[in-house]
Amino acid sequence: MARCLADNQLENSTEKGSATTTTSTPKHTDLMTLMLQSGDATNPQEIQDACLNFYAAGKDTTAFSLSWFIVMMNRNPRVLCKVREELRRVVPDLFTGGLDTPTLEHLQQCTYLEAALKESLRLNTLVVYRLANRDTTLSDGTFIPKDARAVFSKYGSARQPTVWGADAAEYKPERWIDKKTGKLKKMSSFQFVTFSAGPRQCIGMRLAMMEMMTVLSVIFSRFDLETLMDPFNITYDFSLVLPVKGTLDVRVRSLMAHSA
């Protein structure tokens, strides 16, 4: 299914790219068309594989991450209030309908929103594993035979007091913000392992963060999303991508109607 979507997208983007000159680039275009126009990627197979990666790796992971953020906001209304305060200051037109979506410059100023999102991603993240292609001995002496599947628990790592402090299990966006500067702290990717680290780190990390921050800023500037179930009773299902168990049912209220 994903391969068929990638094939169709490549065909459509190729037609679009050939019909568009470099001096008449449309205001809105897709990533594949930009790749074709740049000339950096000319192998159709490489472009198709890149598209497939976006479909396969970026759909469920992003969707479930957004779901967990909604749960976190219901569990922590104090955080939601601070997120909205920041959005009202940085992008007030989102609340009035004067702006459909925030710009990249707006999102770069939304420090608390990014901290709240990263904290949700820290606590509610996917599982990763690797199949050993040869016998391996880790630095602590653990022997992993060839063809063994090694699973890394990001869920457990995110709750390690030795890594995150005594309050590791708490949802606390403030841990991401430098008290002196008010800016985001630079965390090692080997500490914040949601997007993995090293040469196998997620190549779509920055895109995913901007995508989620855009969606969340639009949703929470216009609507209240109240979970029908007690948010503290919402749990996860067994899966590599850690989805919310069952359906995430919410009651949606317009902020404008709610304040009227």
Determine the pLDDT at residue 39. Answer: 64
81 is in an annotated binding site: no
Determine the pLDDT at residue 11. Answer: 63
CB 132 within 8 A of CB 146: yes
The CA distance from 63 to 246, in Å, is 14
Determine the pLDDT at residue 7. Answer: 59
Determine the pLDDT at residue 133. Answer: 92
| pLDDT tens, residue order, the chain (260 aa) | 545 555 565 566 555 555 554 445 555 566 667 766 766 656 777 777 776 666 665 566 788 899 999 999 999 999 999 999 999 999 999 999 999 999 999 999 999 999 999 999 999 987 777 889 999 998 899 999 999 998 888 888 899 999 999 999 999 999 999 999 999 999 998 899 888 888 878 777 888 899 999 999 999 999 999 999 999 999 988 776 778 999 999 999 998 754 44
Residue 217 corresponds to which tokens in the numbers above? 């800023």
- Classify residue 199 by its DSSP letter: G
Q: What is the C-alpha end-to-end distance of the chain, expressed in Å?
A: 46
Pairing of strands 143-144, 250-254: unpaired
Determine the pLDDT at residue 237. Answer: 86
- The candidate with the shortest Cα–Cα distance to 8, out of 59, 48, 58, 63, is 48
33-63 burial: b if 16+ Cβ within 10 Å, else e: bebbbeeeeeeeeebbebbbebeeeeeebbe
Tell me the sheet residues that pair with 252.
Answer: 225
Determine the pLDDT at residue 21. Answer: 47
How far CA 60 is from CA of 56, 159, 241, 244, in Å, comes to 8, 23, 7, 11
The CA distance from 37 to 29, in Å, is 11
Residue 192 backbone phi and psi in degrees, to 5: -90, 90
Go through the domains of the chain in sequence order and give each one's CATH number: 1-16+33-58 (no CATH), 65-259 (1.10.630.10)
